[in-house]
Each structure stands twice: as C-alpha cells, then as structure tokens.
Amino acid sequence: MHMSGSSNMTKITWLSLTLLLFCTFVVPSFAADLKPVNVKKDDKCPVCGMFVAKYPHWLAEVIFKDGTYAVFDGPKDMFKYYLNLQKYAPSKKSADITGVYVTEYYSTKLTDAGKLFFVTGSDVYGPMGDEFIPLASEAEAREFMRDHKGTRILRFPEVTTELLH
C-alpha cells in the first residue's frame, strides 16, 4: 500500500510539473522594459511596405532591447516578421526582442501580444485582407468568432508560419 501511495504521489508530481511547464510556455512573456513606440508618418511595414500610420486600429510593433523597432499594418505581418527574423532583420535574434504589441480589436489600444487571443478566418479584414483579430479575453474571442464567422482561436505561441498564408 505504501508503494502505491508513493507511485500515485510521483504521478501527481510529474503531472503538476508537466502542467507548470506547459503553462509557462503557453504565453510568451516579454520584459516590456520598452513601451510601444509612437509611430511616425513615414514608418513602413518591413513585410509589405505599407505606411502603417494610416492604419492606427491595426498597428502592431516589435521592440528590441537596443531601442530599435519594427511596426506593422496588422498582426499577421507582425507574425510573419517575428517568425522569420532571419529574412526581415538578419542582424536581430528573438532574444533581442523586449516587447511585441498589437492593437486589441475592441479597445483599439496597443497591448502585449502575449496576453491576447487571435481569431483567424473571420469576415473582418485588415489593411492587407485576411487578418488575425486580437482580442483581450477568450470569452470575447469566442463571441467574435461566432459573430464574424471565425474559424479558430489562437494564442501567441500557437501561430506558425504555415498559418500565415
């Protein structure tokens, strides 16, 4: 009996550790030492070349430790950049990033992208067409998905290059 209790305790301990590790990696945490930047009129998206100041409700930003930044006309282009730094910013590494912000759909405020839920496949389009719609809570994401024919809710680390067609 003592062995069985010990075995169960070991299983519970491993399960707890597994859940702890899973939860740790589900949502990225950026140092956020650097706050979102004020976009300048001539700032361009490094992915598509559009002037981003024209689209204040779709802004997204990647901030680097050295104070440099990249700004985007929507979350989808930000993810393309973030997931392929070698192509868009070969001198940078993901470890150099201190903040990733996107404009939350309802509040229209730049928000830490790691805290948001992204709805794909909806009938709401951004400046470049199909867009990942950032929402503050899972409940808002589910409601948005129902109201706007979304197909999927993703968290930041679930976004892959394959989803960025």
Same domain, 82 and 129: yes
CA–CA dist 7, 12 (Å, integer):
9
62 forms bridges with which residues in the sheet? 70, 100
Say how many CA atoms lie within 13 Å of 30 toward its Cβ. 25
Chain segment 69-117, per-residue pLDDT in tens: 999 999 999 999 999 999 999 999 999 999 999 999 999 999 999 999 9
Same domain, 147 and 69: yes
pTM: 0.80
Quote the domain boundaries for residue 141.
52-163
Q: Is residue 36 part of a domain?
A: no
CA–CA dist 55, 57 (Å, integer):
6
What single letter denotes the amino acid at residue 5? G
Same domain, 22 and 56: no
Predicted local confidence at residue 63, as pLDDT:
96
CA–CA dist 161, 165 (Å, integer):
8
Strand (E) or helix (H) holding 71: strand 69-72
Give the number of domains in the chain. 2
Chain segment 25-74, per-residue pLDDT in tens: 344 555 455 689 999 999 999 999 999 999 999 999 999 999 999 999 99
At 165, is the pLDDT very low, low, confident or very high (cuts 50, 70, 90)?
confident
Q: Is residue 35 part of a domain?
A: no
Same domain, 12 and 80: no
Query: In whole angstroms, how large is the CA radius of gyration of the chain?
Result: 19
In whole numbers, what is the pLDDT of the chain averaged over residues? 86
Q: Is residue 91 part of a domain?
A: yes
